[in-house]
Amino acid sequence: MDHGKRVSFLAMEYDKGRVTHLYSDSKEATASVASDRIDGKGATLLPGLIDAHGHILDLGRALSVVDLVGSASEAEAVQRTRDSIAISPEDKWLYGRGWNQVLWPVKEFPSRKTLDAMPAGKFIALERVDGHAMWVNSAVLALAGINDDTPDPVGGQIIRDDLGVATGVLIDNAMDLF
């Protein structure tokens, strides 16, 4: 990770348990003066990630999504999302986690409309702090085939406004629709 942005590389050099250099070019990697080499033959190799119970995968995911924990309002959550898009404008998907409408001045679920105001061509999916709700934009709803007539799945709910329009918030098993 480089300032929250995922980094791809072909080779890694490390010393005494610390990564010292990442190589994105095979010519550079070949020129390395490292004394020991391990050829992964295309597989991913990471040194020293041995832990009895470290949730390493969850940590990696947490570092690569928009942190919405502590957002004081829907507007603040949207601004954090917008800031994240500015860091990685080429990404088509943007994930986030941590919003909690119960802590906002207006204690209502957010709306896809505020996410739809983001740059076009983005799929945005933001998970609630407890993991029981997902706030998505219209692009995600369309991709998943969710519309105003889509029935609620067993054990889930598609939140709708007073006119029956899907708001972009999916509860529990409804999150599995996309």
pLDDT at 104 > cutoff 70: yes
Q: What is the pLDDT of residue 178?
A: 84
Res. 144 pLDDT band, cuts 50 70 90: very high
pLDDT at 13 > cutoff 90: no
In the chain, what are the domains? 11-52 (no CATH), 65-177 (3.10.310.70)
pLDDT at 176 > cutoff 80: yes
Residue range 86-106: mean pLDDT, rounded: 93
Q: Got the DSSP string for 76-141?
A: HHHHHHHHHHHH-TT-SEEEEEEE-GGGSSS-S---HHHHHTSPTT-EEEEEETTSSEEEE-HHHH
